[in-house]
Amino acid sequence: MNLLQIQDDFQRTVLAKESAGADWVTKTAHGITPEHRIAIYHNAYRVRLMDVLWDTFEHTATYLGDNWFRQLAADYVQTHHSTFNNIGLYGQTFTTFLAEQLPNDLEVAELATLDWTLRRAFDGGNSTVMTMDDLQRLASSDPENFALHPVTTLTINTLQFNTLEIWHAIDQDETPPEVAPLPHAIDILIWRKGDSPHFRSISPLESAAIGYVREGNTLNDIGARLVESFPEEDVSMIFGQLLQQWIGDEVLAVKS
């Protein structure tokens, strides 16, 4: 066998559901048989990926408990092979997998999505954070065409259950409350401020405003669209307050 054939066969052997021997491993070394030597790699591949899931989805693992999470993680690893050079990105579809496996417990998938998004915010790309001086300078230099830009780590998650309360309880080593559907879905803003990921719930108006920001609308267009969408609100005052809060929260970026 040439090297490429050996590599391909080794990959198939490691990814197979059950560990088996390989024709090109024929010798016992240090008292370990060829079958056991292959089994070490077969097991190590799964253990390493499961460790990644445990680390990334820490709150989800705590909520489910060790045994339940371990079984779900093992099933995921067997059916979702790693395709990433950066192992930290493994688990990208784990939230979808949990929703499919636990259709009657969708707060689990929401909790996992929150875990995943916070981790991605932590190691996401850097942005030049906008200051109030930047806002005033840029807005005055070209008021008709001035557009806001979010930091690269900004994401919005939508929750249908009291998942946020569950996450906070787990984070404080407290007993999570019983799962309950929310009267109305809420949006959660997630981003990195400094070196730490942050999140908070946001109003429908703020969620819409951030959506317009992410679409690249000008400042004037954002205001006009908010007035149209929320005619009963004092949009001018609220949007002005939001701009100050966004500057303080470091969710806006200066486009390079």
Q: What is the pLDDT of residue 55?
A: 95
88 pLDDT tier (thresholds 50, 70, 90)? confident
Average pLDDT over the chain, rounded to an integer: 90
Query: How crowded is residue 147: how many other Cβ atoms within 10 Å of its Cβ?
Result: 17
SS3 159: strand
Instruction: Report the pLDDT averaged over residues 215-224.
Output: 93
Residue 17 pLDDT: 74
Distance, in Å, from the CA atom of 50 to the CA atom of 60, rounded to the nearest integer, reads: 13
Over residues 17-24, mean pLDDT: 62
Burial class (CB in 10 A: 0-12, 13-18, 19+), 56: buried
pLDDT surpassing 90 at residue 256? no
pLDDT in tens, 118-129: 999 999 999 999
pLDDT tens digit string along 183-202?
Answer: 999 999 999 999 999 999 99
pLDDT of residue 96: 97
Task: Catalogue all structural domains in the chain, each as residue range(s) with its CATH number.
Answer: 1-104 (no CATH), 105-256 (3.90.930.50)
Q: Is the pLDDT of residue 51 over 60?
A: yes
- How big, in percent rounded to 5, are the helix, strand and coil portions of the chain? 55, 15, 30
- Summarize the confidence of residues 156-165 as an average pLDDT: 97
pLDDT at 39 over 80: no
Report the pLDDT value the prediction gives residue 100, as an integer from 0 to 100: 97
